[in-house]
Chain A
Amino acid sequence: MTRRTPHTLYLFAVPALALYGGFFLLPAVQGLRYATTDWDGYSATFREVGAANLTDVVSNDDLFRHALTNNLKFLLVVVLGQTALALLLAVLLAARSRGSTLLRALFFLPTVLSSVSVAFIWKFVYDPNFGLANALLDAVGLDRFRSAYLGDEATAILWVAVAQIWFHAGQMMVVYIAGLHQIPEELYDAAKTDGAGRWQQFRHVTWPMVAPATALVVAYTTIQSFKAFDLILGLAGNPPRSSLDVLATRIYATFANSQLGYAAAESIVFMAAIALVTWLQNRAARLAHG
């Protein structure tokens, strides 16, 4: 005989469902609805435009295309750079010693700062006339490499990516350290017995064993890269120029330009882009692990 759940217990799910419906489902459906209009965000009247907004976003909007390209560049650099740096730091600082604990804390420190503070720090670093980066180049005699950094059309978004990596690599390092501590020492002992050097130990033991942590780091970093809204506004101003624009800031700029219907259409494409990147990452991860 099985005991059945009293039906009144279903009522306990109602508040959560109501919140989910009111604050997620409803706005999501509204977003779809707005995307088919030319609503400015405040007028009582609007025009139905069908799929015209979506068509324009996809095929006739250079600003959106620039933002998408920048976002993908940013994503690639941050995912690769941040993952590699976090893993390197974790491998170097995995040992439990006072020195490594201190260094871990030091590398983790940027994570606790607000995006605005980080933007302020890196604005100072990148300032072409008073900034730390050019001053350092001058100091070591490499002044021919001086740059306008955020003012350089071709590389501006990459400099923001560097700031983002500095901001979050320490956080990902902690994830990797937790993963490294899960690896049984016996595997390293066996590898050493087989004559494996440090690089071979890393390649054949550490790297496969931290795969779950890598998947987590890559997924989290991807989400962070799409959410780098406040850091970019802090570094590039509002609205950022096209060389620094990413999808989130572009949608915000469209919204601020009183084009709510069009901004809703941009948001739909934004979500589709995230879904596609996530799907590609999952496929890549599956292929990588056989």
Chain B
Amino acid sequence: MTSPFLRRRDLLRLAAGAGAASLLAACAGPGDSTSATGGGSGGGLTGPREGDLSFAHWRAEDKDVFDRIIKDFRSKNSEITVRQDISPSNDYQSTALQKLRGGSVGDAFTAFRGAQFLEVAKAGVWTDLTGQSVVQRYEPALITAGARDGKQLGLPYQLVFNMPLANTDLLTKAGVSAAPKDWDGFLALLEALKGRGVTPIAWPGGDAANAGQLLNVMVVNNAPTDDALGKIETGAAKVTDDWFLTVLKQYQQLRPYFQQGATGTGSDAALALFAQGRAGLLATGSFQVSGVRKLGATFGIDLLAPITTTADRARYEGVFNATFILGVNAKSAEQPAALAWLEHLSDPAVAGVYANGTAQHVTVKGVEYTNPDLKALAPWLTRRTALAPRFQFANLDVRGAVENAAVQVVGGKSPEEAAEAAQKVIDQKR
């Protein structure tokens, strides 16, 4: 009996042919035919400013402020809608690039300084903003982190200080009237806080993203050059070098001053310890000031970085970072509308709404800070601060190995042993 439509042999031939074609397709080399040299431009930045925009970022805590800004934007650009696509910061670091490449998410987007900025550039997802009038609205010195190969690919929006927050009320009670000028002074400050019965430093050692913030200030004055962490990745420096061993030994000295179980403490718990007045310092950064206030803290807050050397050898008083790099997605079909959104965010009045609403400084020129905490921290805008070195790492495994060495030392491992183990991973991964 035969089928009028298809014989079994034909079907087998068809299946074999399709299978062979699939296998051949699968065996073809990876990659695609599009260029990925960075700064590519899809639909172009000129054209009708209309459409439905996706704005991708990781700051869930800023959602309400952005909602207000979007409402204002809509009143001036009725043809454009803006939707916030928010992912937690660690997930954003890992997955944003793959999502952005599709073009359906993040017509306008943000990126972290360092590894993520570079990866997005390599994938050609930034639209070149060089020459656009919006660039003129920023402090030139603060947006270099968004430039590459002479092109302004993105606009770092937030200006944060990646250094410990200090409860000034507790410091006063502990008899500390001025920030210590050297390492011994810093240890004396911690001892004085301990004497008051509080945890000297709350440190979220269990949260990789925030545990590493302390490394910034521990490194800047100890490092022989400003790009020393970057050199670790290239192999020009090692974590077994004396200067980095000094950093690890100082972590060891800090052990008695962290809260109990510091290596297992998450960000929320460390934040709560500080906000409740149970810790004198919070070793994260100014980006957590608004979180501290949301938990009801009313005490005075300042920034206080440990000076890890003697006073005469200290080159920096602290660390800053220009991040939350705004960009227009080169794969987006809504580039003119995305640029309009960036222009709106870059308006000094709007940037002021963002800054004062989130208690973070911004890189936009002419912003008036009315938030009391921002006013209190404003002197840091002109002090000797270094660009946060932690973001010099482009390889996340290398960064993880270096930061994990510090966590291991706080957990009880010897600095030499932790450094050896980290260097082995670095040699394997770089």
Interface residues of A (CB under 8 A from B): 4, 6-8, 10-11, 14, 17-18, 21-22, 25-27, 29-30, 33-34, 37, 39-46, 56, 60-63, 123, 126-130, 134, 146-153, 156, 237-242, 252-254, 256-258, 260-261
A–B Cβ pairs within 8 angstroms, 27 of them: A7-B2, A8-B3, A21-B19, A29-B26, A29-B27, A39-B30, A43-B123, A45-B31, A60-B428, A62-B421, A62-B428, A63-B401, A63-B429, A127-B264, A128-B262, A130-B272, A148-B263, A149-B264, A153-B263, A156-B264, A237-B208, A241-B407, A242-B404, A252-B94, A256-B93, A258-B119, A260-B30
In the assembled complex, the Cα of A152 lies from the Cα of B264 at a distance in Å of 7
In the assembled complex, the Cα of A198 lies from the Cα of B84 at a distance in Å of 62
Q: A42-B123, A63-B428 are in contact. List 7 more A-B contacts (CB 8 A).
A: A10-B8, A25-B22, A25-B23, A30-B30, A148-B263, A149-B261, A239-B208
Contact string against A for B residues 386-430, beta-carbon threshold 8 Å, 1 for contact and 0 otherwise = 000000000111001100100110010100000001001100110
In the assembled complex, the Cα of A7 lies from the Cα of B404 at a distance in Å of 63
CB distance from B184 to the nearest CB of A (A): 28
Which residue from chain B places its CB closest to the CB of A149 in the assembled complex?
A: B264
A258 touches B206 (CB 8 A): no
Give the interface residue-count category, chain B.
Answer: 35 or more
Which residue from chain B places its CB closest to the CB of A28 in the assembled complex?
A: B26
Looking at B33-41, B62-70, B310-318, B372-380, the stretch in contact with chain A turns out to be: B33-41
In the assembled complex, the Cα of A130 lies from the Cα of B264 at a distance in Å of 11
Which of B18, B30, B397 interacts with A37 by CB under 8 Å?
Answer: B30
Which of B32, B94, B269 interacts with A129 by CB under 8 Å?
Answer: B269
B11 touches A10 (CB 8 A): yes
Which of B23, B26, B30, B269 interacts with A127 by CB under 8 Å?
Answer: B269
In the assembled complex, the Cα of A11 lies from the Cα of B12 at a distance in Å of 10
Residues of B within 8 A of A134 (CB): 261
In the assembled complex, the Cα of A153 lies from the Cα of B421 at a distance in Å of 14
CB distance from B412 to the nearest CB of A (A): 8
Name the residue among A26, A37, A43 with the largest chain B CB count within 10 angstroms: A43
A34 touches B30 (CB 8 A): yes
Which residue from chain A places its CB closest to the CB of B8 in the assembled complex?
A: A7
Residues of B within 8 A of A258 (CB): 97, 119, 122
- Is B101 in contact with chain A by the CB < 8 A criterion? yes
Known A129-B273, A241-B407: A256·B30 in contact at CB below 8 Å:
no
In the assembled complex, the Cα of A21 lies from the Cα of B265 at a distance in Å of 46
CB distance from A29 to the nearest CB of B (A): 4
- Is B231 in contact with chain A by the CB < 8 A criterion? no
CB distance from B102 to the nearest CB of A (A): 11
- Is B259 in contact with chain A by the CB < 8 A criterion? yes
Contact string against A for B residues 102-135, beta-carbon threshold 8 Å, 1 for contact and 0 otherwise = 0000000000000000010011000000000000
Known A11-B11, A45-B31, A237-B207: A26·B261 in contact at CB below 8 Å:
no
Residues of B within 8 A of A238 (CB): 88, 90-91, 93-94
B1 touches A128 (CB 8 A): no
A152 touches B269 (CB 8 A): no
B7 touches A151 (CB 8 A): no
In the assembled complex, the Cα of A21 lies from the Cα of B19 at a distance in Å of 8
CB distance from B315 to the nearest CB of A (A): 30
B27 touches A7 (CB 8 A): no
- Is B150 in contact with chain A by the CB < 8 A criterion? no
Residues of A within 8 A of B36 (CB): 42-44
- Is B180 in contact with chain A by the CB < 8 A criterion? no
B94 touches A239 (CB 8 A): yes
CB distance from A132 to the nearest CB of B (A): 13
Known A4-B1, A7-B6, A129-B269: A148·B264 in contact at CB below 8 Å:
yes
In the assembled complex, the Cα of A11 lies from the Cα of B61 at a distance in Å of 54
In the assembled complex, the Cα of A216 lies from the Cα of B283 at a distance in Å of 48
- Is B266 in contact with chain A by the CB < 8 A criterion? yes
A7 touches B7 (CB 8 A): yes
A151 touches B263 (CB 8 A): yes
Which of A14, A18, A56, A130 interacts with B269 by CB under 8 Å?
Answer: A130
CB distance from A150 to the nearest CB of B (A): 5
A127 touches B265 (CB 8 A): yes
CB distance from B428 to the nearest CB of A (A): 6
CB distance from A123 to the nearest CB of B (A): 6
- Is B349 in contact with chain A by the CB < 8 A criterion? no
A129 touches B396 (CB 8 A): no
CB distance from A238 to the nearest CB of B (A): 4
Which of B33, B91, B101, B261 interacts with A146 by CB under 8 Å?
Answer: B261
Residues of A within 8 A of B29 (CB): 33, 37, 46
Which residue from chain A places its CB closest to the CB of B207 in the assembled complex?
A: A237
Residues of B within 8 A of A8 (CB): 3, 5-6
B265 touches A129 (CB 8 A): yes
B122 touches A253 (CB 8 A): no
Residues of B within 8 A of A242 (CB): 400, 404
B206 touches A151 (CB 8 A): yes
- Is B15 in contact with chain A by the CB < 8 A criterion? yes
Known A46-B29, A129-B269, A241-B407: A151·B264 in contact at CB below 8 Å:
yes
In the assembled complex, the Cα of A40 lies from the Cα of B119 at a distance in Å of 10
